[in-house]
């Protein structure tokens, strides 16, 4: 399966038995409606796989809460709300995991027959939601970090992310060594996320960061640029 972008507004990145999908503004016309965004993600994943799929989404609150979905039978196609959390995990086929972002990072993780989709802003990253997800993948599916690949999608870039010492200090408590994420009053959240994943044991060669900045590019929704009423991009991962 080739990596594609273009007219649909959705970048499709095959990875490790899974397909990660990242919508930009054109691919996320549903605005702020959580269910509509999850339905759009299910439809795009279904088109990519050539069959109807279900999608799971959550109320996102910048926590380190994860939710693992397992089922005896496939869900009905379409969107399903699972509750409050900021990372979804599954080893079930035909089930797309969806997050919404508009400056925070969408992080897709796959390997060993399992997938995870993470909503990661600085609060979630500082609470080590990536560590929580990597830990759950090992505990629940026996998948160690060395078997995982990750894609960090587009969020706010260091060009638009001046922060106070409380943010830098909170992130610096975690092992994200050698990532070059920390500047003078500036944080590169994507570099931090990639560095944290490496710190957790992922192979740096299998951690990819998609280039861009949501606040710079009109191709993306951005709360920093457009205020709290900004729309959201959806991102998803599904086992293939
Ligand atoms: Zn920028």
Per-residue pLDDT, averaged over 204-221, amounts to 96
Each residue of 125-140: pLDDT tens digit? 999 999 999 999 999 9
Rounded to the nearest angstrom, the distance between the alpha carbon of 216 and the centre of ligand 1 is 4
- Which residue range is the domain that position 85 belongs to? 10-155+206-239
Mean pLDDT of the chain: 93
For residue 61, the CA-to-ligand 1 centroid distance in Å is 24
What is the 137 CA–ligand 1 centroid distance (Å)? 33
CATH code, 213? 3.60.140.10
Whole-prediction pTM: 0.95
Residue 197 within a domain: no
pLDDT at 178 over 80: no
How many A from CA of 217 to the centre of ligand 1? Answer: 7
Burial 102-117, CB ≥16 within 10 A → b, else e: bbbbbbbbbbbebbbb
- CB within 5 A of ion ligand 1: which residues? 157, 159-160, 213, 215-216
Is it the case that residue 158 has pLDDT exceeding 60?
Answer: yes
The predicted structure's pLDDT at residue 1: 44
Tell me the pLDDT tens digit for each residue of 20-49: 999 998 876 667 889 999 999 999 999 999
- Structural domain count, the chain: 1
β-bridge pairing 95-101 and 233-239: antiparallel
Within a domain: 198: no
């Amino acid at each position: 399966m080739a990596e594609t972008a273009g007219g649909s507004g959705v970048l499709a990145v095959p990875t490790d038995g899974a397909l990660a999908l990242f919508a930009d503004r054109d691919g996320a016309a549903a605005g702020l409606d959580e269910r509509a965004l999850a339905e759009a993600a299910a439809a795009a994943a279904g088109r990519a796989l050539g069959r109807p799929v279900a999608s799971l989404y959550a109320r996102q609150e910048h926590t380190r809460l994860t939710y693992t979905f397992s089922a005896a039978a496939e869900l009905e196609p379409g969107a399903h709300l699972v509750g409050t959390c900021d990372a979804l995990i599954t080893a079930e086929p035909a089930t797309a995991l969806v997050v919404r972002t508009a400056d925070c990072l969408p992080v897709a993780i796959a390997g060993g027959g399992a997938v995870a989709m993470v909503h990661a802003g600085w609060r979630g990253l500082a609470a080590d939601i990536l560590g929580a997800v990597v830990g759950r993948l090992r505990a629940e599916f026996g998948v160690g970090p060395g078997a995982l690949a990750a894609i960090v999608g587009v969020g706010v870039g260091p060009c638009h992310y001046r922060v106070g010492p409380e943010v830098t200090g909170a992130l610096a408590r975690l092992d994200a060594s050698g990532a070059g994420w920390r500047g003078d009053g500036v944080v590169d959240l994507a570099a931090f996320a990639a560095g944290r994943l490496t710190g957790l044991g992922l192979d740096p060669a299998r951690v990819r960061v998609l280039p861009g900045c949501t606040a710079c590019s009109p191709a993306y929704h951005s709360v920093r640029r457009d205020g709290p009423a900004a729309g959201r991009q959806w991102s998803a991962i599904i086992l293939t």
